[in-house]
């Protein structure tokens, strides 16, 4: 934790005003841009804002061809832009975050950076670690990690634009007890939009306030989406502005007790000992360079949302499976994901349920994913998820993020090779953690299958983002009346919601779809050398 020069402490029991400035700089005119930012910073401060965030590269504009072109506009920190804003922060006793092209005077290296300025000067600098399309033409990736700065209004981390497309940077900040993520961005898209769901997800995952400052104009063909906003720790947008320029205001507690408590609850349930695969980088090279791998084949996935009622009728369950299989009898590569099945050991043993399901898969030639829950246990998350095939039980996983200590040893994530692809299994509880999806993707999962009861943490839109971020097919089966049923492959397959009686969510996937997914274009850009804190079992001040 880096401590600000300002030694005052916040004692006000009320709320603090914060602000995001939607600001459209003029490319190559830093003096004009600074003058306009000074005006907007002063306006926000006079309106009561204590922390004001400007967009990425607000001093210079964003799209540059090379080092030579941007050279006249790079600057040191402290430097002209931070000095200009300091004149306001010192006078108004506030804090500002601004994005700019930084020059390291000792090396001559350029960075896409953000600076945190307080009443007494520059408190800290962050250099963007996950670069976007045009950044690598002139900027080097930041290698100083993700730091959190202690101020009287809260612990502040800075991230920039593309950093939010990966869960790891904001998680690292939260593990250092960040209360606020100041987020300068030049988010691009097809037009002006509300705040990105990705930003909302990063806030929800970590229990932090997220202050996103974006542009809304165009520059050299790049369309910036606007949608600057203040997002709470629950992932809900307080205020936002979709288009044009302006200042968006929001509120945070003067003392972060409630948000800190929720963040601690979120982070304490993590299981770092199961996350070591996150540090691997298996997609730097095309798979198959040194060993043979099975080629993907066409396959069908179907969701079976079983309406259980009181007690388990294994005969009715087998009947519903048979009916589903008869709808598509010619599919030789078929994966059925069944919603979670609860049983009472006094009425039927787990082994008896498994044996009947194994028999059915042997008859039909299908593969089946199902979670079995013992209603006799005191722990609701004491469940096992099974993968069954025509030749018997393929394997199973236990809940990794369980609320109790597993007497059978430390549960781990597992991915299984089937004739048509690789399947990773998640229980309902594990499906609420971004680490779960990343580990399975690092293990090579083409399909992530979740058999759940409809009470898993989070919402369907969150899980779609996690699937997209990991280039995977996501198949979630829940009870039929719940909205959690989901069959999803980004921009190709999307079936979601409650499943009416007599209907089925299914889709056939071509081998070429998995070929694209297996290249993991999104995951190639991960910066695994920065992620070691994600696997530490203890997070202490000495490690921050």
What is the predicted pLDDT for the residue at 260? 77
What is the predicted pLDDT for the residue at 408? 61
- What's the rounded Cα separation, in Å, for the pair 19 and 26? 21
Of 473, 484, 436, nearest to 339 by C-alpha is 484
Helix axis angle, 167-175 to 257-268, nearest 10°? 110
Q: Say whether 531 sits in a helix, a strand or coil.
A: coil
Q: How far is CA 191 from CA 42, 94, 130, 219, 512, in A?
A: 29, 33, 23, 13, 31
Contact between residue 249 and residue 240 where contact means Cβ atoms under 8 Å apart: no
Q: Say whether 372 sits in a helix, a strand or coil.
A: strand
User: At 426, which helix (H) or strand (E)?
Assistant: strand 421-426
How many residues are listed for the chain in this entry? 544
What is the predicted pLDDT for the residue at 6? 40
Reading the block at residue 430, the tokens are 């594990």
What is the predicted pLDDT for the residue at 385? 96
- What's the rounded Cα separation, in Å, for the pair 101 and 146? 18
Give the chain's end-to-end CA distance (angstroms, integer). 6
- What's the rounded Cα separation, in Å, for the pair 80 and 103? 12
Reading the block at residue 150, the tokens are 């202690």
Strand partners, 118: 121
- Give 93-140 pLDDT, tens digit per residue: 999 999 999 999 999 999 999 999 999 999 999 999 999 999 999 999
Q: Which single residue is written with the structure tokens 């048979």?
A: 322
- What's the rounded Cα separation, in Å, for the pair 70 and 59? 12
State whether the Cα torsion 49-53-55-60 is positive or negative: positive
What is the predicted pLDDT for the residue at 544? 32
Where are any strands of DSSP class E within 354-419?
367-374, 383-389, 392-398, 415-418
**pLDDT tens per residue across all 544 residues of the chain:** 544 444 333 334 589 999 999 999 999 999 999 999 999 999 999 999 999 999 999 999 999 999 999 999 999 999 999 999 999 999 999 999 999 999 999 999 999 999 999 999 999 999 999 999 999 999 999 999 999 999 999 999 999 999 999 999 999 999 999 999 999 999 999 999 999 999 999 999 999 999 999 999 999 999 999 999 999 999 999 999 999 999 999 999 987 766 677 788 888 999 999 999 999 999 888 877 787 777 778 999 999 998 876 667 888 889 889 888 887 665 679 999 999 998 887 778 889 999 999 999 999 999 999 999 887 665 555 689 999 999 999 999 999 998 766 656 678 999 999 999 999 999 999 999 999 999 999 999 999 999 998 887 788 999 999 999 999 999 999 999 889 999 999 889 999 999 987 788 999 998 888 777 788 888 889 999 999 999 998 764 323 3
Q: Say whether 347 sits in a helix, a strand or coil.
A: coil
**501 exposed, middle or buried (CB, 10 Å; 0-12, 13-18, 19+)?**
exposed
Tell me the whole-structure pTM to 2 decimals. 0.93
Q: Which residues contact 42 (CB under 8 A, 6 or more apart)?
A: 88, 92
Catalytic site residues?
A: 56, 128, 161
Query: What phi and psi, each to the nearest 5 degrees, are found at residue 268?
Result: -70, -20
Reading the block at residue 220, the tokens are 């050299």
DSSP 324: H
For 348-373, letters b (16+ CB in 10 Å) and e give: eeeeebbebbbebbeebebbbbbbbb
What is the predicted pLDDT for the residue at 533? 96
For 37-71, letters b (16+ CB in 10 Å) and e give: bbebbbebbeeebbbbbbbbbbbbbbbbeeeeebe
Q: Which residues contact 304 (CB under 8 A, 6 or more apart)?
A: 320, 321, 324, 336, 337, 338, 339, 477, 504
- What's the rounded Cα separation, in Å, for the pair 240 and 356? 54
The DSSP-derived string for 74-137 is: -B-SSSHHHHHHHHHHHHHT-EEEEEEEEE-TTT--EEEEEEEEETTEEEEEEE-SS--TTGGG
- What's the rounded Cα separation, in Å, for the pair 519 and 434? 20
State whether the Cα torsion 362-368-369-371 is positive or negative: negative
- What's the rounded Cα separation, in Å, for the pair 144 and 88? 28
Strand partners, 386: 370, 396
- What's the rounded Cα separation, in Å, for the pair 44 and 35? 15
- Give 77-92 pLDDT, tens digit per residue: 999 999 999 999 999 9
- What's the rounded Cα separation, in Å, for the pair 411 and 31? 57
What are the start-end ranges of the H helices in 162-219?
167-175, 197-206
Sequence-distant contacts of 480-485: CB under 8 A, at least 24 apart: 480/305, 480/306, 480/307, 480/339, 481/307, 482/305, 482/454, 484/452, 484/454, 484/456, 484/460, 485/303, 485/305
What is the predicted pLDDT for the residue at 50? 98
Q: Which single residue is written with the structure tokens 């983002």?
A: 465
């Amino acid at each position: 934790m880096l401590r600000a020069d300002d030694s005052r402490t916040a004692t006000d029991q009320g709320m603090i005003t914060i602000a995001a400035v939607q600001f459209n700089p003029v490319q190559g005119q830093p003096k004009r841009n600074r003058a306009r930012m000074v005006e907007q910073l002063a306006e926000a401060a006079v309106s009561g804002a204590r922390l004001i965030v400007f967009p990425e590269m607000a001093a210079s504009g964003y799209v540059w061809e090379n080092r030579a072109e941007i050279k006249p506009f790079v600057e040191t920190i402290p430097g002209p832009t931070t000095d200009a804003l300091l004149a306001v922060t010192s006078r108004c006793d506030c804090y500002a975050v601004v994005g700019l092209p930084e020059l390291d005077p000792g090396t001559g290296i350029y960075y896409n950076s953000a600076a945190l300025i307080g009443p007494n000067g520059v408190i800290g600098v962050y250099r963007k670690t996950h670069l976007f399309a045009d950044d690598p033409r002139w900027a080097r990736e930041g290698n100083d990690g993700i730091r959190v700065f202690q101020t009287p209004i809260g612990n502040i981390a800075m991230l920039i634009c593309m950093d939010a497309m990966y869960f790891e940077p904001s998680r690292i900040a939260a593990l250092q007890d960040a209360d606020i993520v100041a987020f300068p961005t030049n988010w691009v898209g097809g037009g002006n939009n509300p705040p990105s769901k990705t930003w909302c997800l990063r806030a929800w995952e970590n229990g932090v306030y997220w202050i996103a400052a974006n542009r809304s104009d165009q520059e050299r063909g790049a369309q910036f989406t606007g949608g600057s906003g203040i997002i709470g720790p629950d992932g809900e947008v307080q205020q936002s502005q979709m288009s044009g320029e302006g200042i968006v205001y929001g509120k945070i507690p003067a003392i972060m007790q409630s948000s800190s408590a929720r963040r601690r609850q979120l982070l304490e349930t993590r299981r770092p000992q199961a996350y070591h695969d996150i540090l691997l980088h298996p997609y730097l090279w095309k798979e198959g360079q040194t060993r043979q791998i099975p080629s993907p084949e066409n396959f069908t996935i179907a969701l079976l949302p079983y309406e259980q009622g009181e007690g388990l009728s294994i005969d009715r369950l087998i009947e519903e499976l048979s009916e589903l299989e008869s709808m598509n009898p010619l599919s030789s590569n078929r994966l059925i994901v069944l919603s979670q099945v609860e049983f009472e050991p006094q009425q039927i043993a787990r082994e008896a349920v498994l044996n009947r399901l194994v028999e059915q898969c042997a008859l039909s030639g299908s593969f089946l994913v199902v979670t079995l829950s013992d209603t006799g246990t005191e722990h609701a998350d004491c469940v096992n998820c099974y993968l069954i095939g025509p030749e018997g039980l393929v394997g199973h996983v236990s809940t990794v993020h369980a609320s109790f200590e597993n007497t059978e040893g430390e549960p781990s994530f597992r991915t299984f090779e089937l004739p048509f692809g690789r399947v990773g299994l998640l229980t309902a509880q594990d499906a609420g953690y971004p680490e779960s999806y990343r580990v399975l993707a690092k293990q090579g999962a083409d399909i992530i299958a979740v058999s759940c009861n409809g009470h898993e943490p989070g919402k369907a839109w969150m899980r779609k983002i996690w699937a997209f971020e990991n280039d995977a097919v996501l198949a979630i089966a829940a009870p039929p009346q719940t909205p959690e049923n989901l069959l999803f492959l980004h921009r190709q397959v999307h079936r979601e919601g409650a499943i009416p009686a007599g209907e089925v969510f299914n889709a056939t996937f071509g081998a070429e779809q998995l070929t694209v997914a297996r290249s993991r274009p999104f995951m190639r850009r991960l910066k695994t050398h920065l992620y070691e804190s994600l696997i530490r079992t203890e997070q202490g001040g000495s490690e921050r």
